[in-house]
Structure 1
Amino acid sequence: MKHLSAENTKKVFYTLKNLSDTRWSCRADAVKALVHGYKSILNALTEICNDAGQKDIVKCQARSLYQNMSRLETSIYTQFWHEILEGFGSTIRYLQNSTMILSTALNLLKSLTSFVESKRDAFDSYETAGKELSDVQEYQNSRVRSLNVPLKPIDYGKASAVQLSPKEKFRTESFLPVIDRLIVSLRERMSAYQVANERFGFFAEISTMKNSELTLAAKKLVHFLSSRFGS
């Protein structure tokens, strides 16, 4: 079986990597390789499944991976996380710069948060990209759920049913909640940077501050340190 790698139009090769638990840049690289090699990976998994020389457990694992990657939902998430992780990776590289000042870091986080927020309205574009990536056009089975409404005794057991389309079900129950959790986490991080910038950010602007501004900022910092650590 050929080495699993993907080649784009610029003759750049991407090799599959393990997903890092800690480094965002490694996660971005892993998902990028998946995006650029999606069809090649599916073909390789098919070869494994049909290879009589492979152990049953190996073929079973390959079949399971193939089935998961052959879902439209998986290819949509692959395209989504590819774009999101690229954005996170770029921001984190700037944040890790030793010369980064707090106000700039705060603006970067604000920009990243706005970037993620904009993806709430981008589902259709990810769906289109997911279909192109996997050649799968349909979602998995839809689900029928009952409306949670008060019933008169005569209507017991006859609640009207709302059938979500597979697309709408995935968008509202999976796609949007992921984005909202990301936004909440980013806002929490941004809040921490905001507090730090209000207390210590003036050190990077001392040369341009008026005496009155510098005095006020210093007094606020002294007050905070005194209340935190005692006089």
Structure 2
Amino acid sequence: MDTPGTPTTRSYPAPGLWARRQQCLQTWDCSAPTTLPSGSDKFKRSVSNPCSGHSLNLVGVHVVGSCSEASNFFAIVQSVYNFFSASTHRWAILKRCAQEKSLTLKSFSTTRWSARADAVSVLNQCLSQIIKALKEIEENISENPIARQEAKGIRNQLESLEFTFMLSLWDFLLSRFNAVNLRLQNVKISIDEVVNQYEALIKIVDETRDQFDYYEIRALNMSEIKEYRSETQRPGKRKLKADETRDGELELSARDKFRVDAFNVILDELLSELNSRCASYTEINEKFAGGSFSNRVTSESGPTPKGPETESWVASGWNDGDCEVRLNGG
């Protein structure tokens, strides 16, 4: 304990040392292992070891951004939460309609996919109760007219065949992603176990790609509407140029169009993102495989260190063809 009136002396790392340490601690989304950004010869053979949990979160972010049907689905999920959470009166109606179930709607984060898993799971389990609450608000003439119209619009979206299909599909996928993500957050997980987890997830997604009929049957059982949206709308036709004809044009049915443009796109993008990340971790694992060293290299997880007192790992011993990584001083 410092004596009153005595100046307190504290030591801090030299600026150059601290900058190098921050380079070691920095992580990136990995599509391929990269060399740490330093001009020093010591770091030329160093390989970044990106956070596997954060990288898995980014898989979902990229997939949703590549498919309009997926982004529209999550927008509807969020709109349900926004509608009921905006009013205690509406929330009370929802609770009353779900007396037999413990129903608590969840919002979701744009990057934390465990929150999306919770939000989709609740909606999948209590869809009929949510629709019942929306109908009650919609048909009550004493309700605000704007709220009634909003309830009707959300209800129509929830009852569509496309939404119930996406609900079943994403509930399954997100539950598996969340389970893997929780394992990846273990601070003692090794690189070879990270590779195993990614490979298991790739296998699940690959097998899901052949199960369109299964999810369609589930969606038909849940949905009030038994046809795809484009089957109930007048199809648009592309305007032909002067030297064009419609001979040889392929017109997909509404079912096939949804399978090709939504279902296949989502799963193909998932496989592409997962494979690229798995290949990166596999390359790191193979590079340092052999002996006891491969079990000592772990994927950085948890919050990024904020200062010298929270250092999680230090890279040292940058010798030719070798690299030693110490975890928590171990």
TM-score relative to the length of structure 1: 0.77
Say how many residue pairs are matched: 205
Alignment partners' CA distance in 2, 1:135 and 1:190: 40
The gaps in structure 2 that reach 5 residues or longer are 1-92, 297-317, 324-330
Q: Counterpart in 2 of 1:42? A: 131
Q: How does 1:76-225 map to 2 (within 5 A)?
A: 76-142=165-231, 143=235, 156-200=244-288, 202=290, 203-205=293-295, 222-223=320-321
- Counterpart of 2:209 in 1: which secondary structure? helix
Greater Cα shift, 193-202 or 120-129: 193-202
Alignment partners' CA distance in 2, 1:5 and 1:101: 47
Q: How does 1:14-33 map to 2 (within 5 A)?
A: 14-33=103-122
Instruction: Answer yes or no: is the 8 Å Cα contact 2:285–2:294 preserved in 1.
Output: no
- Counterpart of 1:106 in 2: which secondary structure? helix
Instruction: Answer yes or no: is the 8 Å Cα contact 1:5–1:33 preserved in 2.
Output: no
- Counterpart of 1:179 in 2: which secondary structure? helix
Seen in structure 2, the aligned counterparts of structure 1 residues 102 and 35 have a Cα distance that, compared at 3 Å, is: same
Q: Counterpart in 1 of 2:161? A: 72
C-alpha displacement at 1:104, in angstroms? 0.9
Which structure features the higher share of helix residues?
1
Instruction: Answer yes or no: is the 8 Å Cα contact 1:95–1:105 preserved in 2.
Output: yes
RMSD between aligned residues: 3.0
Alignment partners' CA distance in 1, 2:246 and 2:218: 40
* CA deviation profile, 1:70-126 (whole Å, cap 9, x unmatched): 110110000000000011011111111111111011011011011111111110000
Higher RCO (C-alpha under 8 Å, 6+ residues apart):
2
Once the two structures are aligned, what percentage of the paired residues are identical?
Answer: 28
The gaps in structure 1 that reach 5 residues or longer are 207-219, 226-231
Greater Cα shift, 50-59 or 122-131: 50-59
